[in-house]
Structure 1
């Protein structure tokens, strides 16, 4: 789900060419910085993520969908980080339920319980409205009704509600340029579990694991070569 802006008449201008070159240069710089960032890491890098400094999590609704060029660069950055830390994505359907599917996969080893996960999160939103309504720039009842619908995108408010409801620290490996790691922690309880998601900013969530922790159904098959 991306938003594409085209020049009128389909023509390309010198400005657009310059922009594309800038994007290419930015992407090359990102690759250099990431390679330096990960150069000293060993095979235990994934476990070190929990010791990294994270940016403060701010609950907010979805207000922005990146343009195609920016989304592509973001995705490349996320893939580089996954590879560098030896993490594997369990890809879930991009049907508007991806946040709930990814949370379901982390808790139940299957994305198919996303309806139950959404129901519990919406229940948390309704029962503890004082914790979340200040972040919602619309009538709160309307927001809860909207979030109860299958296919409605989860946001950073539903992530906070999930952390509170399931007493879990939700760890996001992100595609953000400035930081790769965000933690969402329960507001009034110590977390009893960790849930790991990848977050392609503004586009998609997936469930992530270290290889040794991958569910059996998701382990990569060994290649058998014929000689």
Structure 2
């Protein structure tokens, strides 16, 4: 019986070590991919909006989805802004994961890594609860449980957590009438990369590129990020 218990303990320890190793492998690969992609970024997008003042970012959950008329006007406003600044969006799937897909595309040039990005955001929420719970108008555990689900829409709280987790400045070109451009900065570190997203207010996120530089998507190896 003692031998059986000992074997079980060894097995449990082995599983735990394997789990830790898998997590470390995930983080290492994610870091390498992000560094490879960031080395290709030369700040050209930032220069196009450098004359605009960014408003202070306040993390918040999603508001109400606008009616058809307002949504149409918002979309037209966003489209005009992108044309004005020579930007174009890579269309993300409208499956509820668009924010995480857009972040994954900017980080790894592959929106299929959206599950990994969501997982990292949830880890950030769990490890640094005090940074975010004041912005969540519901029990914090309920918010995390909801946000863990694939298809749950990301909000401005998840954007802040992503900026913090990945050490990134998230540059958001919006359809808001009075706010064209929002910068979301990491709270406790200097950003090491820029992620460019468009936000059709309360409806959809896309990944942004300079006009003419929008990539053509091809199947890429997914490694084992998720």
Counterparts of 2:49 and 2:97, CA distance in 1: 26
Counterpart-to-counterpart distance in 2, 1:191 and 1:45: 16
Q: Deviations over 1:120-151 (max 9, x none)?
A: 00110111000000111111011011100000
1:46 touches 1:86 (CA, 8 Å); kept in 2?
no
Equivalence for 1:118: 118
Partner of 1:29: none
SS at match of 1:199: strand
Q: 1:45 to 1:126 in 2, by over 3 A?
A: closer
Whether contact under 8 Å (1:171, 1:197) holds in the other structure is yes
Quote the offset at 1:51 in angstroms. Answer: 4.2
RMSD: 1.6
Q: Distance in 1 between matches of 2:190 and 2:93?
A: 31
Checking the alignment, whether the CA contact within 8 Å between 1:196 and 1:208 is kept in structure 2 is yes
Following superposition, the deviation at residue 198 of structure 1 comes to 0.3
Secondary structure of residue in 2 paired with 1:104: helix
Report how many aligned residue pairs link the two structures: 175
Aligned to 1:47: 47
Partner of 1:58: 58
Q: Residues 168 and 51 of structure 1: is their aligned pair in 2 closer, same or farther, counting only changes over 3 Å?
A: farther
Pairing of 1:16-165 with structure 2 (within 5 A): 47-165=47-165
Task: Give CA deviations for 1:158-199 in whole Å, capped at 9, x if unaligned.
Answer: 000000000000000000111210010000100000000000
TM-score (norm: length of structure 2): 0.74
Contact 1:169 1:184 in 2 (8 A): yes
Q: Which moved more, 1:200-209 or 1:55-64?
A: 55-64
For structure 2, the 5+ residue unaligned runs are: 1-43, 219-226
1:178 and 2:150 matched: no
Work out whether 1:187 is the aligned partner of 2:187: yes
What is the DSSP-based 3-state SS (H/G/I as helix, E as strand, rest coil) of the residue aligned with 2:169?
strand
Q: Deviations over 1:26-55 (max 9, x none)?
A: xxxxxxxxxxxxxxxxxx886231442011
Q: Is the 8 A contact 1:46 1:210 kept in 2?
A: no
Bigger shift: residues 208-217 or 174-183 = 208-217
